[in-house]
Structure 1
């Protein structure tokens, strides 16, 4: 077996003389296996050493996923992982004939990658789950055929359907301020509009008004609150409201709440 691990480690740690380094770099031009092993070790070090957490396309740094990855990488949990990895590797380096530290480095890097991957995967799933559980076609229309419909509500619903959520919330707010008798469905439309605008506190206030409306629609309030927390990625509050729903088998969206609880655990 070739001593690639030891050579590469010496090269990356700066333990080669000038002539050894020159010879090593010359071999990289012709030895594909050596070149690939070096690239692998460099990638590993990017994970568990104090190097830049990501390189390359700087536009990637602007994405939500990149921000969350960087936050994780800089967290106390990640720091503890890197410290443990480096300690174990350092201990095994004392035996120059042993390649144990090389394999430990691989295993440790994989462990960090799995941790980070799970972190990102979970976050991605929240978006997918929200998309799969928000069924806008289930919301009854505010426009009733054969009956006079409040023009503000009618126009607000049209704006909602056109995904003009900011304009829709403005009309719903006007309606709520002007009318004494409020159609509880307007709280649902307005609340979802706020969710789509990422104004989660305002969305929750609308669904609280729905729950306090003393109407048949009031029973839907907890489910819509759950959707807010799902969109917000607030697992603690999401679990709490889902547990409230599943405590009553007659609750609105009881079965869906059970499924969602299982999916986020």
Structure 2
């Protein structure tokens, strides 16, 4: 697939997961592609703002026309009212449809920014004779067996309260799309004020995006931007999209 097709599919929200990966790689590695993407994104934002103003102005005009029109009694009144209601609905649907088409796509924003956090805690090597629960949990995590991973992390959590256990449990819950459980784990990491706190803010923000909670997503992203350096540029980009 050529780059123009990738851009078209991005803005029409129809990229597959594999195409999304290719798209993100091009953004990181191809300066010309990134420049074209930024140009088209800014152009669409400008068009959206202009059209939004026009649609709002048109709706106000219709409302004003209705307010200033003298309606005759009887059957004519009924027919006119029906027409007036229909006209208002048409204008409203134009406004609503436009915002639905060009509005914020939370799932796309999540997919564009989510990457499974790698295992940076436990080094797994061939021939390792250690049969600990911790090793079993991270072996399952790296093998993308997230149900087994979360079950083992739960066992570990009973005796080991280290923040990284909660963080990786949050990761496994995200992969399993158990968003409320993931949110709880990331909040627990942040409360400890120890390891993985910046990362927890980032993934908690993504969790809120998945939950379509714009307000709380912005809270986490602003905390990340103002306090830490982890994924700061990406956080700023998302905040720009959310405004």
- Relative to 1, partners in 2 of residues 1:232 and 1:91: Cα closer, same or farther, differing over 3 Å? farther
Q: 2:233 aligns with which of 240, 251, 255?
A: 255
Q: Give the secondary structure class of the aligned counterpart of 1:140.
A: coil
Check if 1:205 corresponds to 2:205: no
Q: 1:237: Cα distance to partner?
A: 0.9
Q: In the alignment, which residue of structure 2 is the partner of 1:225?
A: 204
Larger relative contact order, structure 1 or 2 (CA cutoff 8 Å, min sep 6): 2
- Residues 13-53 of structure 1 show CA distances to partners (whole Å, capped at 9, x for unaligned) of xxxxxxxxxxxxxxxxxxxxxxxxxxxxxxxxxxxxxxxxx
Q: In the alignment, which residue of structure 1 is the partner of 2:219?
A: 240
Give the alignment's Cα RMSD to 1 decimal: 4.0
Q: In the alignment, which residue of structure 2 is the partner of 1:36?
A: none
Check if 1:126 corresponds to 2:106: yes
Larger radius of gyration: 1
Check if 1:151 corresponds to 2:101: no
Contact 1:126 1:231 in 2 (8 A): yes
Q: In the alignment, which residue of structure 2 is the partner of 1:186?
A: 165
Contact 2:119 2:138 in 1 (8 A): no
* Alignment partners' CA distance in 1, 2:178 and 2:124: 32
Contact 2:147 2:176 in 1 (8 A): yes
Q: 1:94: Cα distance to partner?
A: 5.0
Residues 15-94 of structure 1 aligned to structure 2 (within 5 Å) = 88=66
Question: TM-score, normalising length from structure 1?
Answer: 0.51
* Alignment partners' CA distance in 2, 1:159 and 1:145: 11
* Alignment partners' CA distance in 2, 1:90 and 1:242: 53
- Relative to 1, partners in 2 of residues 1:159 and 1:140: Cα closer, same or farther, differing over 3 Å? closer
Extract unaligned runs of 5+ from structure 2: 1-58
* Alignment partners' CA distance in 2, 1:219 and 1:190: 16
Q: Give the secondary structure class of the aligned counterpart of 1:261.
A: helix
Q: 1:120: Cα distance to partner?
A: 6.5
* Alignment partners' CA distance in 1, 2:135 and 2:124: 12
Q: Give the secondary structure class of the aligned counterpart of 1:144.
A: coil
223-232 vs 155-164, which moves further: 155-164
Check if 1:171 corresponds to 2:115: no
- Residues 162-200 of structure 1 show CA distances to partners (whole Å, capped at 9, x for unaligned) of 5443332211111111336x3x43333210222233433
Number of residue equivalences:
174
Contact 2:167 2:196 in 1 (8 A): no
* Alignment partners' CA distance in 2, 1:196 and 1:116: 32
* Alignment partners' CA distance in 2, 1:149 and 1:224: 30
